[in-house]
Structure 1
Amino acid sequence: MLNLIIADTSLEIIPINVFKHQSLKKIRNSGKKPEEILLDRSLHHFAMMSAKLDEDYKRGRPDILHIALLNALATPLYIQNHLRVFIHTFDNNVILVGKNVRFPKSYFRFEGLMLNLFRDKKIVSEDGQLLLELRPNTNFGDLLKVFVKPEIVLGFSTTGTFKRLESIGADLASYSNGCVVIGGFPKGHFSKNIESYFDKKLSVSDMGLESQIVISRLLYEFEKNILV
């Protein structure tokens, strides 16, 4: 089993100080409430700059998570139940992804699904299967200790030690419950707190590859070692 954690993910409800910015007056007048809006830099850039959010360069990109999940959950590894997926958000929420989950390919439907999850805390299929569960106020350490319980934690960053993906995939195959951590944010690096849980911090390229590329290539190399 391999565990994938998409960490420090740019997925959050719009902060109230951003929502109140004058540039979002039309949205407020439309009757929308803050809990009905995901923070999105493409729509809220000026409001985010004015609000001076902490580490704003890592925030407001829920589309990164959407693309990463579409890649990870379409793999034979996930379909054949050899992959578990977890999401840790910038503001310390954790989302547990169940089995046989298919995320909508349309971003707007994905956005609606995430808003429903923030509101209801659970998404259940018509036959009663738990697909997604939100655990509020759950930090990265709690995620590892309570839900993942890994034998080894590998974090991926441009500041890590270079290692070829083929070698990483082979190494991971030797563990029955390994864990890989990949960022779900557009710029910057993992927080020091998250990095403190890494057994190894690795780099797979001298370029800053996008999250979905690293995920796709890493899962493929792991698949080659465990799937016939």
Structure 2
Amino acid sequence: MLHLVIAESELEPVPEEIADHPAVVNYARRRKKRPTEVILDSSYHHSALKNLPDGERRGRPDIVHICLLNALESIANREGLLRVYVHTRNDEVIYIRPETRLPRNYNRFLGLMESLFKNRVVPKDLGLLRLEKETLDQLIEEINPDKVFVMHENGRMIGPPDFGRVLVSYENPLVIVGGFPHGDFRREIKGERISFYLEPLMAWTVVNEVIVHFEGEMLFPRFL
């Protein structure tokens, strides 16, 4: 079983510090919600982000959306070989059941995340998504992997096909991918650092490469 964590994701409701900013207030009014009930999004709240610490990297729920669409629709997930989690900058963890089918439409995805942060479980009758207050270290301890890999631009260089072969040599590997647009993890994460390319890659590209080559080794091994 491959465990995949999108870590330190820039997914959060609008913080109180900028709840009265005109860009936030007007956006929330259009959505017919309170300012602190909408998801922070740099596309809509760019001017307000200038007033937040780390504002240049916050408000990127689109990264989580694309990563989750790719992961949940993968062959590995359909075959029951993958578990995906989202860890946020505010130390919250979203648990996602494998059968979850997220909205393809981005605005509908934002609405789903807003409901999740408000109600902690969605849909209430199925509980496909569950939000818990939890650190990344606590999540790793709970998963209890036999190996942790941290995808990092300064990690050991290895080709994606070779990394797929490495992953299948473990029963319960964990791969951590940063859910932020640029920069480094804000905290030290214990694990072997791995890099696929000489230049930084977007999170969803890394997610795709990891899953495709893992499932390739698990389900479609080479015939010698």
CA gap of 1:28–1:129, structure 2 versus 1, over 3 A, is: closer
State the distance in 2 between where 1:181 and 1:37 align. Answer: 27
CA gap of 1:23–1:108, structure 2 versus 1, over 3 A, is: closer
Give a deviation string over 1:1-38, Cα, whole Å, max 9, x none. 00000001010000111121244443466663133211
* Equivalent in the alignment of 2:12: 12
| 8 Å Cα contact 1:39/1:60 also seen in 2 | yes
Equivalences for residues 1-228 of structure 1 within 5 A: 1-27=1-27, 32-49=33-50, 51=51, 53-124=52-123, 128-136=125-133, 138-146=134-142, 148-193=143-188, 195=189, 197-198=190-191, 200-228=192-220
| 8 Å Cα contact 1:57/1:186 also seen in 2 | no
SS in 1 for 2:56: helix
| 8 Å Cα contact 2:82/2:98 also seen in 1 | no
State the distance in 2 between where 1:86 and 1:29 align. Answer: 31
Uncovered stretches (5+) of structure 1, i.e. residues with no partner: none
* Counterpart AA for 2:105: S
Cα distance, 1:57 vs structure 2:
2.4
Cα distance, 1:124 vs structure 2:
3.5
TM-score after normalising by structure 1:
0.90
* Counterpart AA for 1:224: G
CA gap of 1:12–1:206, structure 2 versus 1, over 3 A, is: same
TM-score after normalising by structure 2:
0.92
| 8 Å Cα contact 1:10/1:62 also seen in 2 | yes
CA gap of 1:65–1:74, structure 2 versus 1, over 3 A, is: same
CA gap of 1:129–1:99, structure 2 versus 1, over 3 A, is: farther
Aligned CA RMSD, in angstroms, stands at 1.6
State the distance in 2 between where 1:188 and 1:87 align. Answer: 18
CA gap of 1:161–1:113, structure 2 versus 1, over 3 A, is: same
SS in 1 for 2:80: coil
| 8 Å Cα contact 2:103/2:109 also seen in 1 | yes
Uncovered stretches (5+) of structure 2, i.e. residues with no partner: none
